[in-house]
A and B are shown apart, each in its own frame.
Chain A
Amino acid sequence: MLLCILTLVSKWAIPLLLLIIPIYGYLKKVPVYESFVEGAEEGFTTAVKIIPFLVGMMVAISVFRASGAMDYLTQFLSPLTYQIGAPSEVLPLAIMRPMSGSGVLGLATELMRVYGPDSFIGRLASVMQGTTDTTFFVLTVYFGAVGIKKYRYSIVTGLTADITGFFAAVYICNLLFR
């Protein structure tokens, strides 16, 4: 039932937006096509503007990951997370989550394939994936779009939210699925 509703919403959301907004605009006497092109032009310039920011961030993250430095960090932290009820298998997920969206989805998929989606690890991995965000990516892209170089305290806020999300996911999964 829930699955039905959710798939229906995610299937229809975009087509409906693409249908309703132009019709609404037309009824309000907006020159719909001209307005579309006008807006689309802004999209182009913004996407190009973020290239240097994204190159800088992705190179650093990629070197950190490929060199094996991330694995060391995971090994270093795993005794700590075991204490709070998180299996060490999900730790790479938590560490990588703020840095790489696609990498982390690959990791989560791998965990579910190995341990099964309905195992504790599979469920925890799912909740973690649905909870936290790729903070570094979001900050890089959003600030890059307007040329902001000093992020002030927003990194601390974003990373604290990620850590909180991780703890909350571990807590709720232990409560419900153990």
Chain B
Amino acid sequence: MLNLIWLLLLTSGIIVAAANGNIEIVTEAALGAAKGAVEVCFDLIGIMALWLGIMKIAEKGGLVKSLARLMRPLMVKLFPSVPPEHPAMGAIILNLSANMLGLGNAATPFGMKAMQELQELNSQSDEASEAMCTFLALNTSCITLIPATIIGVRLSCESANPTEIVGPCIFATAIAMIIAVSLDYWFRSKSRWGRHQ
């Protein structure tokens, strides 16, 4: 699936550029993006270090565990394959909470930490586990209660009511989230793709 998407993006881009007689753009875009990707990772290093450092304090103080205990009834249903006391649960909750608050730069480190914890439970090491798929379904469709960035853009464009979009956003994400979680559940329990040979 991913192999095909990746190949399609790349080849269709090159073919279109060639057909338009603008093949130089491919070289420029490819080299620029390769450089840009490393820059993104470098920016991430500091943010990752900061939030994972803070998280380690919360973990050792028992804060992450109490949070996980609080959400346990829901988490056990969503992640049946993860033991309820596993540290992955705490990291998942932190990631989703940061997402909801619109704290994008804190969400990414917590999410990666959650993936690392889930990977420890994953026996096939280069293939996604069911819990990972569920986590990413939740993560990519997660409700943002405070879409701070877009409110900022609306403010700067002198909107008469910058926050009027918050309600509709919550409605639309809630629907997307329900669909994502249901689809994930279906894949996990009903489809041959989900069940592993």
Contacts and interface: CB of A to CB of B under 8 A. Distances in A.
Interface in B142-197: 142, 144, 146-151, 153-154, 157-166, 168-169, 171-173, 175-177, 179-180, 183-184, 187, 191, 193-194
Given A6-B151, A68-B16, A142-B115, A55 B38 contact: yes
Q: In the A-B complex, list the 9 residue pairs whose CB atoms are closest, starting with the nearest.
A: A39-B56, A43-B48, A62-B33, A130-B147, A130-B169, A117-B159, A165-B176, A66-B29, A63-B13
A136 B47 CA distance: 20
Contacts of B50: 40, 43
A90 B61 CA distance: 47
B54 A151 contact: no
A-side binding surface: helix, strand, loop or mixed? helix
A116 B157 contact: yes
Interface in A54-71: 54-69
Given A123-B164, A146-B118, 10 more contacts: A25-B61, A35-B53, A58-B36, A65-B29, A68-B17, A126-B150, A129-B153, A131-B172, A148-B115, A169-B168
Q: How large is the interface on B (under 10, 10 to 19, 20 to 34, 35 or more residues)?
A: 35 or more
A64 B140 contact: no
Contacts of B33: 55, 58-59, 61-63
Which of A21, A50, A150, A153 has most B Cβ within 10 Å?
A153
